């Protein structure tokens, strides 16, 4: 009887990732509930997107926690981080493009904390000598978001195998396309 708010958000995220302009009615159907019930739980489309944003922020923070990005070699930390974020990639892909629409409005402060943590990880890698210094931490953070989104879409459309997701993203971000010289 009682609607599972979490499950509604999950299916909404899955749908909106595929079709960002889906109507409230489509979101409701995707969640297997009526539009009226959807409105009872989320005051409107804005509230729904805000709730998805909160969910995304919470998952990112959980991933940061789980990956322990301040421990060990930065490269390994990045790999752990990508692996921890994989389940959230589709949601982040939606939020990443949705954020482009928030023209003037200030964005949720949660993102600032997450961006700071990402940036700090890349900065730490540069300081330790692991990472090159000609690519700014801000750009590496941006690229991580972009690659996660690209990866989520590529998987959704069958262009990349789901099992390769973590490897493709982490290794491209870390090592790039060029072949390494054998040591």
Partner DNA sequence: CCCACATGAGACAGTCTTGTCTCATTCAGG
Partner DNA sequence: CCTGAATGAGACAAGACTGTCTCATGTGGG
Query: What is the binding site for a copy of itself (CB under 8 A)?
Result: 18-21, 75, 78, 97, 100-101, 103, 122, 125, 129-132, 134-136, 138-140, 142-143, 145-147, 149-151, 153-154, 159-160, 164, 167-168, 171-181, 183
CB atoms within 10 A of CB 75: 16
Contact criterion met (CB below 8 Å) for 174 and 79? yes
Contact criterion met (CB below 8 Å) for 61 and 50? no
Which residues does 3 contact at the CB level (< 8 Å), separation at least 6? 33, 37, 41
20: partner contacted, choices a copy of itself, DNA, none (Cβ within 5-8 A by kind): a copy of itself
Size of the site for DNA (CB under 7 A): 19
Residue 18 binds to DNA (criterion: CB under 7 A) = no
Minimum CB separation from DNA for residue 10, in Å? 15
User: Tokens standing for 73?
Assistant: 């070699």
Which of 11, 37, 108, 119: binder of DNA (CB under 7 A)?
37
Q: Checking phi first, is residue 122 left (phi over 0); if not, alpha (psi -120 to 50) or beta?
A: alpha
| Maximum alpha-carbon separation in the chain | 63
Considering beta carbons, is residue 3 or 22 the nearer one to a copy of itself?
22
Residue 1 binds to DNA (criterion: CB under 7 A) = yes
Q: Distance (Å, rounded) from C-alpha 97 to C-alpha 21? A: 12
Helix (H, G, I), strand (E, B) or coil at 42: coil
Which of 11, 14, 15, 24: binder of DNA (CB under 7 A)?
24
Contact criterion met (CB below 8 Å) for 39 and 24? yes
Residue 19 binds to DNA (criterion: CB under 7 A) = no
Residue 101 binds to DNA (criterion: CB under 7 A) = no
Which of 32, 72, 73, 175: binder of DNA (CB under 7 A)?
32
Contact residues: DNA, CB under 7 A? 1-3, 23-25, 32-37, 39-41, 43-46
């Amino acid at each position: 009887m009682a609607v599972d708010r979490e499950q509604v958000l999950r299916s909404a995220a899955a749908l909106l990732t595929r079709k960002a302009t889906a109507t409230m009615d489509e979101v409701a159907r995707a969640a297997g509930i009526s539009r009226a019930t959807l409105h009872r739980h989320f005051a409107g489309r804005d509230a729904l997107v805000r709730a998805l944003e909160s969910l995304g922020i919470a998952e990112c923070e959980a991933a940061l926690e789980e990956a322990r990005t301040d421990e060990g070699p930065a490269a390994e930390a990045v790999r752990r981080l990508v692996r921890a974020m994989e389940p959230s990639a589709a949601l982040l892909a939606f939020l990443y493009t949705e954020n482009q629409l928030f023209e003037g409005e200030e964005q949720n402060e949660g993102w600032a904390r997450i961006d700071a943590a990402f940036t700090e990880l890349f900065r730490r890698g540069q300081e330790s000598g692991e990472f090159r210094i000609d690519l700014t931490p801000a750009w590496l953070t941006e690229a991580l978001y972009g690659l996660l989104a690209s990866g989520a879409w590529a998987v959704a459309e069958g262009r990349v195998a789901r099992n390769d997701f973590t490897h493709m993203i982490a290794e491209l971000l870390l090592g790039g396309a060029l072949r390494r010289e054998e040591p």
